[in-house]
Chains A and B, each alone.
Chain A
Amino acid sequence: DTGVSQDPRHKITKRGQNVTFRCDPISEHNRLYWYRQTLGQGPEFLTYFQNEAQLEKSRLLSDRFSAERPKGSFSTLEIQRTEQGDSAMYLCASSLGTARGYTFGSGTRLTVV
């Protein structure tokens, strides 16, 4: 297994455009997390999936954000009508449960201009 993959690694978009990021977790991991990290800060939780069910969402996840994990495998995070404040690193992590730890992807760095 090659670990957690995120695509793209970098995305530059104009304000108002929609963007979509993809995360491919480790295949046997049933738990998937999205986090957002801004410069100089630790990552902040956005949302959590167990298999295909989205079980928890942060209040940080405004109406412009939506996440899916349609078959309990890969996940997508979409941001509609991007704003400059959305510029951040978006990190995906997967797990079999905390006793087994977490594996992180390399992240997608979004720049909104």
Chain B
Amino acid sequence: KNEVEQSPQNLTAQEGEFITINCSYSVGISALHWLQQHPGGGIVSLFMLSSGKKKHGRLIATINIQEKHSSLHITASHPRDSAVYICAQTRPGGGSEKLVFGKGTKLTVNP
């Protein structure tokens, strides 16, 4: 069992829809990260959070530490939001502070 689980694995939406991607983790975190990966491989960091909620434009990330759960929301989705969204964690006392990744959620937004 992967220590970072994402759902759904694939998500297709119509332009304008509200999108939610979920992430659950089994081990305590020092930080939870949401990243975006476009075809071709490059990864962009969207959010890093350890509590509460963060917002950037149409993207909102929330985390519930007690439930070990985080969500990424996209409001008013657009075809350019089509990408793979990956949840990852860093752990306390880990030294390297390496990222432990989920498998990703492939989002397709149709016009």
The 10 tightest CB contacts between A and B, nearest first, are A42-B101, A107-B41, A104-B43, A48-B96, A106-B42, A56-B96, A98-B97, A45-B98, A42-B103, A89-B41
Q: Is B107 an interface residue (CB 8 A)?
A: no
- B35 (CB) vs chain A CBs: closest residue: A104
Within 8 A of B (CB), among A67-104: 89, 91, 93, 95, 97-98, 101-104
Q: A48-B98, A55-B95 are in contact. Are A42 and B41 (CB under 8 A)?
A: no
Report the nearest A residue to B106, measured CB to CB.
A40
Is there a chain A Cβ closer than 8 Å to B40's Cβ?
Answer: yes
Does residue A28 face the partner (Cβ distance < 8 Å to B)? no
Residues of A within 8 A of B103 (CB): 40-42
Name A residues whose Cβ lies closer than 8 Å to a Cβ of B: 31, 33, 35, 37, 40-45, 48, 50, 55-56, 89, 91, 93, 95, 97-98, 101-107, 109
Q: How many A-B residue pairs have CB under 8 A?
A: 67
B residues near A37, Cβ cutoff 8 Å = 41
Name the interface size band of chain B.
20 to 34
Complex interface residues of chain B between 66 and 105 (CB less than 8 A to chain A): 86, 88, 90, 95-104
Cross-chain pairs A/B with CB under 8 angstroms, 28 sampled: A35-B101, A37-B41, A41-B104, A42-B88, A42-B102, A42-B103, A43-B86, A43-B99, A44-B101, A45-B99, A45-B100, A48-B96, A50-B96, A55-B95, A55-B96, A56-B95, A56-B98, A91-B41, A93-B99, A101-B33, A101-B48, A104-B43, A104-B45, A105-B42, A106-B41, A107-B41, A107-B42, A109-B41
Distance in angstroms from B95 CB to nearest chain A CB is: 7
Q: State the main secondary structure of chain A at its contact with B.
A: strand
Residues of B within 8 A of A101 (CB): 33, 45, 48
Q: Does B30 contact A (CB under 8 A)?
A: yes
CB-defined contacts of B44 to chain A, threshold 8 Å:
104
A89 to B35 CA separation, bound complex (whole angstroms): 16
Q: Does B31 contact A (CB under 8 A)?
A: yes
Whether A103 contacts B45 in the complex (CB less than 8 A), given A42-B88, A45-B98, comes out as yes
